[in-house]
Structure 1
Amino acid sequence: MAIDELTRVIAAAPSRPVSSAPPRRDRTLGVSLAALLLTFAAVLPLTRAITPTWLSLSILAMAIVWLAGAALRGLRAHAAAVPVAQLVVWVMAVTGCHSALAALGQLPGPYAFAGVLPTPRLLEALPPIAAAATTAIVENAAPLLPDASLTLVLVAAAGLLALLVDVLAVALRLPLVAVVVALAVWVVPPAVIGDDGHLASILLFTGAALLLLALDRRRRAPEEFRPVPAAAVAALAVVGALVVAPALPAPTATLRGPGPPTRIDATLSLGDDLRRNGDTEVMRYTVGEGEAPYLRVATLSSFDGDRWQPDDGPFVPADEFPPEPIAPPAGMTTAEVSVRVQIANLEGEYLPVPSPLTGLSGVGDGWNVLGENLTVIGGDVAGESYTATATIPRPTREQARAATATIPSPTAEGLQSTTMVLPDSPEVSPIRDLAEEVTGDEGNDYDRLIALQSWFRGGDFAYSLEAPVEDGFDGTSFEAISRFLEVRSGYCVHYASTFAVMARTLGMPSRVVIGYLPGTNTGDDLDDQSVYSVMASQLHAWPEVYFRGIGWVPFEPTPGLGVATEFLPDALTPGGADPDAPRPEITTTPSAGPTSGASRPPEDVGGGTGGGSGSDAGGWLLAAAIAAGVAVLLAVPWLVRQSIRSARLRRAAGGDARAAWRELRAMLVDAGIDTPPHESPRALAARVSTAHGVAPPLLAPLVSAIEDESYGPGGGAPRGDLATALREVRLALTPGRGRRAWQRAAPRSLLALPRFGGPDGDG
């Protein structure tokens, strides 16, 4: 069939007329504003899972990223430069947030030039911050109160989401993909906390998504937006959220945490308590000057190889305690701690008190103080308000080294039998061998226990609520201890139980305590005393070892919790050889805060101030590694698109009309030109020539080839090289090298694949 006859056939077919209307005004600003609103709508539900102290900083970061893009587009900057500039502004915004939090003393640093330009030391500080934020999310229940690390991560994530949604919706003109990305963030909080009371959030997100799609359609389509389909979609979304969603099964995912609901299992089977579904404030207390104490709940001395059992035995009624004044150890400094406790949401028969208890007043009826361990049991803790006093020994390091970890006999035979005995089991021997290996070079009991504590906290072990549980090792039996020592990952129960058993294999009396971490200072004062809040998530377990002449000494083997026990040398203790020397903040009672990084001065994080070259080198290496990883990720779309393009060009060079036409349409999509499936090749070529300035002779070989392939007899006559025509069209379509590079780096055709219909088939 001759070409002129083909022309008449194609011309007779209905085709979309080329609009001669003047170009409409640019709606890019409106689309970018809709993208910003969509980002905010996606982030907003997180406030139901994480207390929104971070939200204002996150909004500021999102606004800064958006403003950078809007300003550069208003100045008609190169399309490829806008996302790069937004990325730079995002880095500066995150760095500025870190600097602000560091200036408030909440993070180490600041490590930035002019407060907004990151340094290598900041890059070194970021992985621990990210790890701390991850731990806070995994180990705490919703709604959780974010610390500085989690706040910084949330601000960074919000700004990055704003950048990503803006690039997808505005630069790549893929608004539907932007909505999907935002939706992936929006659905997380309802799925995690099972919250179905978020109608306002549903409406805001649906409205933002529809607005974005509508503005983008008006930006690219010749006809005005029709509101009827959009209204139908919105109505279906709202109906689905209100009617269908409540009928779905309740979500099973939860934000897990290391605390109980409101009741403690005193048998040390704390796995379920530590992996609870919620977190509540269990009590508040006031304390004067000095450190806030651990609050003991139960003491477990008897171990039968399977589990630890809480102590019982002789007791004294609380209203008669103490029967006689309790004398502190002779020749030893002591510290008295007095707390006034108000129980808020705790149930059970144990009363949280500091240790060793020396005074108790204000409690109701039915409470008893157990003999040696001085725990309080027997009543109903709900609603109690009382005052408890403890006198804590403060031995020097020399006194601790001179003392032996033994029970004074024969005055405490019962105590010795319960705190030193291990069941006869073949599993004891490897545990004893490991304990002797860890402590073998030390010459006294104190240094052996410090070595054991340091071994657990030294970096080979990790805190986890999941690792030992995956294979069923959730408990304190010999089997669980052996598995824990193998995987070196577990929670406080595993560390406390293993430490206590290893101490017994070394001939030292030990036991395990259940109680609460000191809690969080609320910043309030009551009668010149600080007010602390203790949450259910701060339930904890730790070991104690008895030293003759000192008493029970707590240790903290769990990494990331509390402060490791270490006594001061005699020269640094009051009454020592150098009373004016500075006294470091070292305590025998653990605190609530983590020790990794947080217990060191900010200037020591990421290296010292001297020898900074090593730190800088490490920072630059980390920066180079991050940059290389980002470059590889950014190169993936380009590599995939180049592979597809090369394969099509090879086939087009041999005269394959379909391959050539598919590549032409992909090129048009990459350039931001629509390729509707109902539009004929000739109509598409006419529109591209008229609206985008591509000369008709450049497109003619491609149009003739696909028409000949589609309508010619027997698949059409042999054709020559079509690859050259494609290259010429590409140069005419995007004459600037920078624009061509941007299209190659971010090929829209990979995500918005053209739907091939009409004469070129389904392709």
Structure 2
Amino acid sequence: MSAARWRLAATPLVAVAAGLGVTGLSGLVIFGSWLVPLAAIMIATATVIVLTRLATARPFIPTLVGGIAAAWLVMITYVPADDGGIRWLPGPGTPAAVAAIARDAVAYAEATVAPATVTPELAGAIAAGALALMLTVDAVAVGAGLAATSGFLLLIPWLPALTLERKVPTLALAGTIAAWLAVVALSRRSERGAWRARAREGAAPAPAGIAALAITLTLVVGLGAAPLAIGGPGWGQMPRIALPASLGGSSRLDLEIDLRDSLTTRSSEPVLAYTASDGRLDVLRAYSFGTFDGTHWDRDPEGDTVAANGVLWPEDLAAASLSDPGTVQISIGNLSETRVPVPSAPRSLAAGVEWRYDASTDEVLVDRAEGTRGLSYTVRLATGYTTEEQLRAADALIDAGGDDAVPARYLELNERMDIDAIRTLAEAQTDGAADRFEMALRLQEYLRGPRFVYDTEVAPNGDDAVSTFLEDRRGYCVQFATTMVVMARTLGIPARMAVGFLGGVQDGERYVVRGRDAHAWPELYFPGHGWVRFEPTPAVQTGARPVYATPEVSAPQNPLVDEPNPRSTVLPPQQAPTSDPAPAPVVAAGESGWSPWLLALVPVLLLSAAGAAWALRRSRRGSVQDPESAWASLRRGLGTRAGDETLTPAEAEQWIVSEGPELGDEARTALVSLRTAVEDHRYAPRGTDATVEEMSAWVATVVDAAKESDRASRARVTA
């Protein structure tokens, strides 16, 4: 493969590697129809670069032309005109429009966290970043011939997911590495001559066997070793990057990013407000986690859903359970979730057709592009449903197989944890307990005791977060809840994690829930009754225990005083606004309309077709137009065998003859004739009399002879 051909093959590989890099954001954004225009623009840009390389041998001109095409496509796709139509050509107002879109994208990124719905503005920012990466790698790897160095650039889109411990698609990561290694394998550069000369000449191909071996090894490593290493033993000990607060947000619950941030730097931001007939709620529940790998929780898989009508509770209850209900009216502000916060008790609500209920997880789902943002709804709930007497009575159903009604994952224990040590501690704390309720109560009180300290500055680390917490005895609600869940499972009690909000503080006739009220708690299963919340997190954050889980009657702390927390482990909240923030409008990318990119591709494809026809016509008649272009064509065809470009034609002739096997008399004669024509063109007063057809024939003769002699030499070595 000649230098020109290798460059034509390398650019599509670079596009594939950069495009697959977008999938590294899969844990941070929600994929959807916005990927289609991005893929189309990347394909069109790669096509323009390849066609330009057919027309010029200059190393960086094709990348520059591709950048112009990409900028135009991004403009007409993501930057609307002042009247809302398509902005076909840039004008005086284009920079301001681009700046406004960039500001909107940044503002939206600051107002939400993973996984974020992709707005048109955010899609434009992602597209600009992906195309910038593709063009930069093309310039470095293909233009400059520094293919190996370009691999560091291709890692950029994967860094956020890896540093934040997000899961990444293994096949896509392996594909990125394979595409990059294919570029490296195809680009065995010559070390002779100056850098500019090597860049202009391009890279000579590596043997096909070496290229195939490199790609095979990459796939083996990417599909085999990488999945075992990522998340394997020791992975939790690797350093992680802590994002600045400005890059986070409190508009979505997330155990790895947002929950701790909500408890500290964004603690004063209002999330929702409610009024309740029976006073302050204990918690508002959003969703649950069932699988714990020793370090991280995974959300429960979605089960069968039904219309959110009637009494919503995991256990079968009669409608009479809500015959004398309490009433709660809830208004959500800037909370972009798919799960609706509801009280942790049997409840009913007036819901539209887009509201569904999943009994397996006790979650209320809403199918809206903006999620829960801006929702207002009324909930009727069974106040006082859970009592100590009912929980103790549920113990009679355990021996009859009552726990079989819940999935087995709620008893699973990952082998990364020191299960025996945790079980020994749990058994010691519950020794002599009369029933499941008393066991749960003792675990709760052990963790709420003076041995443990509430501290939001503690970051999750290690492969066994529970053992680490039991040793250090410092953490926030996630550590307390996780530890009680694991300890309960070692005792054979089905348990899971629930996430939502505490009841907030009173503000006039309503209660305001802020970021500081984000909370996680354990839920233990009681047959015939359902999942029951316990509160192992100390009162410094949660206030009083649930009424049914209070071991003795005492005057509870007042959790409703809206004052900065005096503990040094929690950052003081900023001055809280007195009203809920206006919900930021969010439009799903799939609903915004992407017709501009379809229209934009029409002229691009027409230009590409015209360019291809022109390139084919030129290739049929040859790239030789004069002695200089003939000499450049010869050098491209010979690759590294042509020597440094600083050599004179005579010196280059001697280099070509001395490098590699014998060319043969005919080829040497053609080389001499071409060298003479170049020298006459440069130095003779009358120039050269050689025709374009003669020079084209000389170039073809020398290049073909060089390739044939190289093949014969390799055959002799192999034999």
TM range (shorter): 0.3 to 0.5
Question: TM-score with structure 1 length normalisation?
Answer: 0.37
Name the structure, 1 or 2, with higher relative contact order (CA <8 Å, separation 6+).
2
